[in-house]
Homo-oligomer: A and B are copies of this chain.
Amino acid sequence: MRPTVHDIAAAAGVSLATVDRVLNQRPGVRHVTREKVETAIRQLGYVRDVAAANLAKGRTYPLVFILPASDNSFMHGLNAEIRQAILRSPAERTDIRTIEVPAFDPAALVAVLEGLSREKPCGIAMVATDAPEVRAVVDRLVRASFPIVTLVSDLTGSLRHHYAGVENIAAGRTAARLLGRFLGPRKGEIAVLAGSMLVRDHRERLEGFTSVMAEEFPDLAILPVLEGRDDPEIAHMLVAEALGNADIIGVYSLGAGNRGLIRALKEKAVDRTLTVIAHELTAHTRAALIDNTIDAILNQDAGHEVRSAIRVLKAKADGLAVIESQERIRLDIFLKDNLP
């Protein structure tokens, strides 16, 4: 059997309470006593049974998810995954609440975070709007030892404990290489549809995309970016207009609002072959992949992101380690053949 607090107490010649105080680095133990206990712990190779500890403490983990109020399929999916996690709450001892904030609005996000610093959630997961004032509050909260993870979009240079999302520069580079290889020897222009250059994930995808294009596919010229604000209507308008240009042979949609993109493609591109790469697998993009309107979809698994955020926040709250490789969010690449 593995050693318990009783064994430590016996070995060190102290009581259970003292062992517990040392284990939880609570004050009120003489230095020498502490040493004795720590020696015993090391010698017996004691490891604490977290489940038993949580049972005794009646511990639960109050967690808050802060999400942008965006009406697109990806955010709906993310919400759905959080609701699933809430259903699992009893078993996982979590107590999850979500707060919606206006999208692309640093001030609103700051206000919510300020509010949270008064109640005491044991962890915060947030889709970050990448702005200095947001970073400032986050850093302050982290210093006040709130565990914080960013979700989907990261916060440049901040102290957040972890980022649960894909590497977006790599995503953009991957999109460029797929598009370049699929187009082969053809020459022409590439349209890029983004949501907003105010969020870091979109900026980074664009950065990765343009750099690989420049380095390796000089025959493909990137047109000025269309900013669709992740809104299907705006996206539709912009893309429909852009497709008037007959030199366009490829499209990279790096944000959300793909409903509009797809509609524009079906209306305007019936007569020519366009190679299209988009982000996020939703009902709409899936259908478009199957009917060959889209050639490849890059995806981040919202379920994995939510589960990962929860695992990491719980671990940070307890000062425990995580399995790094398990928390890495992969960039999924879907062709019509490997859809889930």
| Chain A interface residues toward B at CB < 8 A | 2, 47, 49-52, 54-55, 84, 88, 90-91, 167, 170-171, 173-174, 176-178, 181-182, 184-185, 208, 212, 295, 303-304, 307, 323, 325-326, 328, 330-333, 335-338, 340
In whole angstroms, how far apart are the Cα atoms of A330 and B329 in the complex? 12
Q: How many copies of this chain sit in the oligomeric assembly?
A: 2
Q: Distance in Å from the Cβ of A330 to the closest Cβ of chain B? A: 6
B184 near A337: Cβ-Cβ < 8 Å = no
In whole angstroms, how far apart are the Cα atoms of A98 and B88 in the complex? 32
Give the residue name and chain of the B residue nearest to A307 (CB).
Answer: B326
Give the residue name and chain of the B residue nearest to A303 (CB).
Answer: B325
In whole angstroms, how far apart are the Cα atoms of A174 and B295 in the complex? 12
Known: A181-B181, A303-B325. A91 touches B335 (CB 8 A): no
B337 near A212: Cβ-Cβ < 8 Å = yes
Q: Which residues of chain B are near A337, meaning CB under 8 Å?
A: 170, 173-174, 176-177, 208, 212
In whole angstroms, how far apart are the Cα atoms of A39 and B336 in the complex? 49
Known: A90-B2, A303-B325, A328-B340. A335 touches B178 (CB 8 A): yes
Q: Distance in Å from the Cβ of A173 to the closest Cβ of chain B? A: 4
Selected contact of A181 from candidates B47, B176, B182, B325, CB within 8 Å: B182
